[in-house]
Amino acid sequence: SKTISKCYVQVTGMTCASCVANIERNLRQEDGIHSILVALMAGKAEVRYNPAVIHPAAIAELIRELGFGATVMENCGEGDGILELVVRGMTCASCVHKIESTLMKTNGVLYCSVALATNKAHIKYDPEAIGPRDVIQVIKDLGFTTSLVKKDRSASHLDHKQEIRQWKRSFVVSLIFCIPVMGLMIYMMVMDSQLSHAHAHHNMSSEEMEALHSSMALEYQLLPGLSVMNFLSFLLCVPVQVFGGWHFYIQASRALRHNTANMDVLVVLATSIAFLYSFIILLVAMAERAKVNPVTFFDTPPMLFVFISLGRWLEHVAKGKTSEALARLISLQATEATIVTLGPDNVLLSEEQVDVELVQRGDIVKVVPGGKFPVDGRVIEGHSMVDESLITGEAMPVTKKPGSTVIAGSINQNGSLLISATHVGADTTLSQIVKLVEEAQTSKAPIQQFADKLSGYFVPFIVAVSVVTLFAWIIIGFVDFEIVEKYFLV
């Protein structure tokens, strides 16, 4: 439909399929958005929207409100016929009207919108009737300076280095404090096993067992109710809870602020409950000057944070590797082209260096030895060997002569060539490959769409079951505590 436009938004901070389902579910409920497809691996969302109701910046803001980073990827996915320009020299509304009215009278220009506040012009044109350089020249003839809005060729949205560093740091901090906690826990398990063995073979009384258990070094009470074991576990657990779990708490708080629950909420609930319960039970034991040391769970948060942060770290390493191929493809694209003007008998009259986006169909482009072909074209003069291994996989150079076709991104080796541009912008072979790879990462199988939908209900379901379990045990404890003593207390 002509009323439907498409934009791409770079999304950061997604960690699992639940995040994808969260974004898709919330944005589908917004007015003006017809469909949204989020790719976890590519870190990108493809949104189809009604420009009369909503604009890309507002869509990005909606995603940011859900707790994720979001920026509109300008020109991403747009092909020929759309031009974004920066116009300098405008001073008032009359300058805007002058540019818009002149461009709309120009043959081939379909739509023009100029914003005085941002100095930007958005132009739609028919590439068969007019080219981007012609549009720029019209504006320059009016007395204004203009330049092309630069595309992001760095593939920065495919870079996961920051997330890799973040989760690696979280894993290392958690691991440093988790190892001593695990050592203490294993030591106590071994000692308890030996005590149980002694009790079974030497017929020791409960009082003797209790006295022997209290004589262990880690069970020695620094204060009434506070053993060496619990004190060391508390000291080792606090740094992990604060520093190792920092990113989990941030993501969980953002999710809760928008009435959603993801895996971070589940992790934070599990670790916080274990830590707070252990801390409170320790304070109660100290207040009551208990002779028997309470059972605590300070070992749970460090071990949970270690394994989950390790999983997140490895996940982002895998994401980075799967995106490397696409990043390399994008880096193969040339950034500039040398446009030449030929006279009779192909005599070179002039040459001009321009951005590759400004090359028009039919332009004569000069490619020197060692240079990349900026567009697809046909050789009109010169002989050379060309490396086309990026397309064919064949390492042997291919001979090019007048009449031969060349592919954008391939490398000219030993001779200067003049080519006539046949496919430019998004129509080049390399651009189409990049587009197909991105679409392959964005598209989802039906079973994956079902899994994403299901993951959105997983966390609320687990929390609900946990709450029901808690109240069930509270009721059982109040009604008949003997059941608990009989079956669960040792």
Please, which pLDDT band fits residue 360 given cuts at 50, 70 and 90? confident
How far apart (Å, rounded) are the C-alpha atoms in residues 232 and 252?
28
Specify the pLDDT at position 272.
92
- pLDDT at residue 77 above 50? no
- pLDDT at residue 413 above 70? yes
* Structural contact between residues 17 and 41, judged by C-beta atoms closer than 8 angstroms: no
The CATH topology of domain 82-150 is: Alpha-Beta Plaits (3.30.70)
The CATH topology of domain 336-439 is: 2.70.150
* Distances 288 to 137, 233, 295, 298, 354 between C-alpha atoms, Å: 86, 21, 15, 20, 81
How far apart (Å, rounded) are the C-alpha atoms in residues 122 and 143?
18
Question: What is the b/e burial string over 350-368, where b = at least 16 CB atoms within 10 angstroms of the residue's CB?
Answer: eeeebbbbbbbbebbbbbe
How far apart (Å, rounded) are the C-alpha atoms in residues 25 and 449?
12
Token output for 332: 């193969």
* Structural contact between residues 19 and 58, judged by C-beta atoms closer than 8 angstroms: no
As separate numbers, helices (DSSP H) first and strands (DSSP E) second, the chain gives 14, 19
Closest of 108, 101, 129 to residue 121, by C-alpha: 101
* Structural contact between residues 344 and 119, judged by C-beta atoms closer than 8 angstroms: no
pLDDT tens by residue, 172-223: 999 999 999 888 888 877 877 776 666 666 666 656 656 655 566 677 788 8
The CATH topology of domain 5-76 is: Alpha-Beta Plaits (3.30.70)
How far apart (Å, rounded) are the C-alpha atoms in residues 126 and 82?
9
Considering the entire predicted model, what is its pTM?
Answer: 0.59
Please, where are the H alpha helices in 203-227?
206-214
423 sits in which H/E element: strand 417-423
DSSP SS3 for 443: coil
How far apart (Å, rounded) are the C-alpha atoms in residues 376 and 334?
12
Please, which pLDDT band fits residue 61 given cuts at 50, 70 and 90? very high
Looking up tokens 């008998």 gives 345
Half-sphere exposure of residue 475: CA atoms within 13 angstroms, side-chain side: 6
Specify the pLDDT at position 75.
54
Please, which pLDDT band fits residue 418 given cuts at 50, 70 and 90? very high
96 sits in which H/E element: helix 93-105
Residue 30 buriedness (CB in 10 A; 0-12 / 13-18 / 19+): middle
Name the β-bridge partners of 361: none
Specify the pLDDT at position 203.
63
